[in-house]
Copies of this chain bind each other. A is one copy, B any other.
């Protein structure tokens, strides 16, 4: 018999991991809700016509496709076979697994456009699938937690996203993080001012690598990509900004990019957003303006956000930005929105590495009841009901076995308290409560037990 295995790039989550993950999900969900975001869920499968062409050629290849049901190969011919996999795919697969939550959200908005109240604030916490090559920290199935507001271009939304990021990480007790913020219009302005208007895409791809490869190699890459030498010289100020003083940085950007109307608009938006954040009363802000932040640009047209935890070398744990044309691909142009995505897997890694999970998040059952015999069990059962009624997670060891075996179970499961019921306890009605960590044991009434554990 073959031993069962997992498909590569996928994972099981055991109880301890799950409890920690649920703590993260719960924290994010509650924060989203407090800010008025509403939950939606979309199906795991989408028509390939919905997904294809939205993530570039590379993305299309990373889509998991679902074989049509029934006699899928009936229409396949020898010439099809000769034409190869790419040509065969659309004939045998109509559906694919969602690749992110953004495209399904766009589809949802378009299909429900007549019923949605704008501005529409939604959040969505579901797994996505990518046929990426698995490697450390990269999986083929992982969760995204997205919140977006569409149908308004108010900068209040940018400000609220900044607040929400602070609240999520503080509620997770990740105190030490940096929230970098930029604006696509500033990047566009830089491209204009140095003399390569419209080429902020190429510029960003190179600049995105600054942390990894350093300034010199970024400039080399730009040169290779056809940026004339004089444009590269003009880029110099970008590498010498003081990113720790927001006002000073905004002044420097204003001076440098004064010729560009687009840049001025971007700087205005950035400044206005930070003013609003200040009005909301955010204290101990972790916001840092970074005019090199691009996040691959993709569909961002305004604000760009990225969050990293300090003190660990784990990539970004959250990112997002404003876009102008979420639903254009589905025939509904001009819908503006701004969103943020939290990466649960990386947040988990950060919290694990920094030992930030509260003890209670790893905890399952609070108390195990250990009856020594049948008679004791008759006392154990109503006691367990009483505890559960009080909201306490309680178990009765189901088999009548040696007491040591039951205590071993409590230890292995990490159950802190054990209630021992032997003949003495049956007679007196007083219970024996044992703390499995300290070993302390003392007598207690059922009522005291409930009050203590509640």
Contact = CB atoms under 8 A, between A and B. Distances in A.
A208 interface: no
A56 interface: no
A94 interface: yes
A364 to B, nearest CB: 5
A122 interface: yes
Nearest to A93: B67
Contacts of A448: none
A74 B69 contact: no
Contact of A117 (B95, B127, B160, B413): B413
The quantity of this chain's copies bound in the complex is 2
Contacts of A235: none
Interface string A97-112: 1000000000110111
Contacts of A77: 81
Given A117-B413, A395-B36, A330 B4 contact: yes
A294 interface: no
A160 B43 CA distance: 34
A77 B395 CA distance: 58
Contacts of A14: 40, 112, 115
Nearest to A15: B38
Interface string A383-412: 011001001111110110000000001001
B398 A45 contact: no
Interface stretch (A83-91, A193-201, A315-323): A83-91
B43 A6 contact: yes
Contacts of A173: none
A46 interface: yes
Given A154-B399, A331-B1, A34 B121 contact: no
- Most B CB contacts (10 A, CB to CB) among A44, A89, A282 go to A44
Nearest to A2: B49
Residue among A1, A36, A92 facing the most chain B CB atoms (10 A cut-off): A36
A357 to B, nearest CB: 15
Nearest to A156: B398
Interface stretch (A217-225, A273-281, A347-355): A273-281
A15 B378 CA distance: 46
A66 B69 contact: no
A169 interface: no
A425 interface: no
Contacts of A19: 38-39
B5 A156 contact: no
B117 A280 contact: no
20 contacts: A1-B330, A5-B111, A7-B43, A10-B45, A12-B112, A14-B40, A14-B115, A15-B39, A34-B388, A35-B388, A36-B364, A44-B129, A66-B67, A71-B84, A72-B85, A73-B88, A78-B78, A117-B412, A157-B398, A281-B385
Interface of A: 1-7, 10-15, 18-19, 21-22, 33-36, 38-47, 49-50, 61-62, 64-67, 69-74, 76-78, 81, 84-85, 88-89, 92-95, 97, 107-108, 110-112, 115, 117, 119, 121-122, 127, 129, 131, 140-141, 149, 152, 154, 156-157, 159-160, 163, 167, 276, 279-282, 330-331, 364-365, 377-378, 381-382, 384-385, 388, 391-396, 398-399, 409, 412-413
7 smallest CB-CB distances across A and B, nearest first, come from: A36-B395, A10-B43, A15-B38, A154-B398, A1-B331, A18-B39, A117-B412
